[in-house]
Amino acid sequence: MMKPIIAISCSFDEKQFRMNDTYTGAVERAGGIPVIVPYIADEDVPGVLNMVDGLLLSGGMDVDPKHYNDEAHPKTEATTPERDRVEFALFEEACRLNMPIFGICRGIQMINVALGGSLIQDIPDAVGTVHTKVDHPVTVEEGNYLYEIAGKSFISNSSHHQSIKEPGKGLTPIAWTEDGIIEAVKHERDDLFGVQWHPERMECEVSDGLFKRFVAFAKAYKDAKG
């Protein structure tokens, strides 16, 4: 039987669509088939998602703050309107289909904004700490998927200057760094979740557990389609 197919969003610059191969590698190790989705027209989104079994929203540049009714902070990095458009359309359609969704770094932020939440636009300015190119401990609340995978604490990598501020509808924070930055969320739907760090860059039990969980949901979705 064919493995579940995972659609992965990507970025675009210098006339090239870009995505680190660590995403595809992590999906493959977990038992899925990765497919990269470029910037497509909104009307083509349903057709594309009908061919796949899960949506992975990858990392990248900042989400435009206009989407959560905020003015741009001076440190907000160059945004990409086309990527915002495509990912909002992919997320909306995947939700309509009840398709499994996993967000990583920018991906968790995109999910949060799509569900009506807001973002801290610059962590150093708002909190006074730096979350770029560092490793740090994460504390996990008991009784959720991440606690089952990682236990009460673990060390994550970090490569971001923005994070969730107000959680969107249906989202509940389940893990935090020492300075209070939200590192993971769960949703009312078990198969919709996100993390702020980059598990695709970490070959460890936590990373493997997250991707295996996601691909298992995608397989169940695929099997249910028949």
Catalytic residue IDs: 105, 198, 200
| Phi then psi dihedrals of residue 17, to 5 deg | -80, 135
Instruction: List, in order, residues 6 or more apart from 216 with CB less than 8 Å away.
Output: none
Instruction: Identify the helix (H) or strand (E) that includes residue 11.
Output: strand 11-13
- 13 beta partners: 16
* Nearest-angstrom CA–CA distance, 79 and 147: 33
Instruction: Identify the helix (H) or strand (E) that includes residue 198.
Output: none
**Residue 17 C-beta-side C-alpha neighbours within 13 Å:** 13
* Nearest-angstrom CA–CA distance, 151 and 148: 6
